[in-house]
Amino acid sequence: MPSQLAELAARMDRLHEFDREPVHPDKLQGAGRFAALFAGEHIAATEFVIGAFFVLHGVTARDLLLGLLVGNLLAVLSWTFICCPIAVETRLTLYWYLRRIAGPSLTFLYNVANALLYCILAGAMISVSATAIGLGLRIPTPALTDFLPNSAAWVLLTIGLGLLFTVLAVVGFTAVSRFAGVCSPWLFMIFLAGAIATLPSLGVRPDLSNLWSVLETRVWNGRAVAGQEPFGFWQIAFFAWFANLAMHIGLSDMALFRYAKRWWYGIFSATGIFPGHYMAWICSGLMVAAVDRNLDPGRMAYHAAGLAGVLAVAIAGWTTANPTLYRAGLALQSVTPDWPRWKLTLYTGIVTSILACFPVFFVRLLDYVAIYGLVLMPIGAVVLTEHWIFPRLGIPQFQAEREKLALNWKVLLVWVGSLAVSLILPLHLFFRWLPCYLFAIALYVGLNWKRRVSQ
């Protein structure tokens, strides 16, 4: 088994061979490039669902606005003071830096875990698109209590749509990616226009004199709908912070920031985060309030923006599922190295399409986002400890590389141990990652403490 794992890891190394070396100084990018890159991201199909869920969870208007402000600020600071500085100092992707720390076998396991999580995320995006297409075909969207498909028509729709997205990703991944770049500003406009247009139906006067009172009483009124747990300021703040946990604290975005000229370019994540995770979430909250708090992205968008709104939901799901399918395929390519990329994307797409049938990933999206970040977060804690804390404590870095270990069992123990602690912590799911992150750092230092003494 260990030798099979080492062989799989070696295959994965070959796949990532092209970015094995640190980024060359003449390839570094300026501030404008990062501002544009982030501005073009962070409006995904899931924004239609997340902002709406906050309304269903009965958050108040004040808690929402302040919670999103604080949480998104913390996310931007995490990119600025953790992810970007490490990327600029190493000029490596997380894949290659982790390989030096944890060994090739563990890096392989990390990639497979990442791929599975990507498949589920892509499945949720397909489900969101399906609500828009289903509106035209009169196929009912699953209820918030549905974990299994509610009808054969929903199964056929999600599988059909998933396969269509998969085929499009197989035959034209690059073209779809370019199209996604074109869609991004338009999607933001649809969110904004839709939110403005729902204000009259909520009772807001043209002079905006009663805007705040309408927001407090008819949108974010502090009353959760039946079956939804009430949320307050802290749930909102933590959700906004960890919505991209795998990217900032989990360090996936080292792949982007290794090209940054300065360590502080993480601040430019604000150009994507505040439109996508502040404005868009507020807009989708307004849209769901205008349809009697009925979480159905297709119906919400149609009510707020007509046919353009329905197109926005369908296209947002498609363009965001496309790169997610690609990344999942890339992560799994080492398992089947003889397969061409198209075949892998096809099989990944089939699995994703099947997952998309199950409404559980769509109706429990907030919990899934929390779990996604939680699962990958301990690896970020290990890398941060190794990069900044070990040199200060006199602990030698890169044990796996120095001792040619296929798998650094200490990293595996930290990963599994942190997740085990997260299971038993008597805290709300949204708050668990932070103590577990600190626990992971302490445990990794503790496990390596003896090496310091021996030096």
Partner 1 sequence: MWLASLGLVIGLWAAVSFFWGVMGEQAYRNWLFVGTVVWFVLATLGNRTRT
Q: Which residues bind partner 1 (CB under 8 A)?
A: 178, 181-182, 185-186, 189-190, 192-194, 196-197, 199-200, 204, 206, 305-309, 311
Pick 317 or 378: Cβ nearer partner 1: 317
Residues 6+ apart with CB under 8 A from 140: 134, 150, 151, 154
Nearest approach, Cβ of residue 180 and partner 1 (Å): 11
Nearest approach, Cβ of residue 36 and partner 1 (Å): 11
Nearest approach, Cβ of residue 281 and partner 1 (Å): 18
CA–CA separation, 219 vs 214, rounded Å? 7
Indicate the burial class of 435 (C-beta count within 10 angstroms; 0-12, 13-18, 19 or more): middle
Nearest approach, Cβ of residue 362 and partner 1 (Å): 25
Nearest approach, Cβ of residue 307 and partner 1 (Å): 5
CA distances from 327 to 49, 114, 122, 349 (A): 23, 9, 10, 11
Helix (H) or strand (E) holding 98: helix 94-102
Pick 113 or 196: Cβ nearer partner 1: 196
CA–CA separation, 242 vs 374, rounded Å? 9
CA–CA separation, 25 vs 247, rounded Å? 24
> Token pair of 27, please?
């390839």
> Token pair of 339, please?
């397969």
Pick 201 or 228: Cβ nearer partner 1: 201
Pick 156 or 197: Cβ nearer partner 1: 197
Pick 190 or 254: Cβ nearer partner 1: 190
CA–CA separation, 251 vs 241, rounded Å? 14
Pick 56 or 301: Cβ nearer partner 1: 301
- Token pair 């295959």: residue: 11
Nearest approach, Cβ of residue 170 and partner 1 (Å): 22
CA–CA separation, 436 vs 377, rounded Å? 9
Cβ pair 277, 86 in contact under 8 A: no
Pick 302 or 433: Cβ nearer partner 1: 302
Pick 190 or 369: Cβ nearer partner 1: 190
Cβ pair 310, 302 in contact under 8 A: yes
Nearest approach, Cβ of residue 178 and partner 1 (Å): 7
Nearest approach, Cβ of residue 263 and partner 1 (Å): 30
Pick 199 or 332: Cβ nearer partner 1: 199
CA proximity to 48, closest of 274, 283, 219: 283
CA distances from 230 to 53, 287, 341, 382 (A): 11, 20, 45, 34
Nearest approach, Cβ of residue 219 and partner 1 (Å): 15
Supply φ then ψ for residue 230, to 5 degrees. Answer: -65, 140
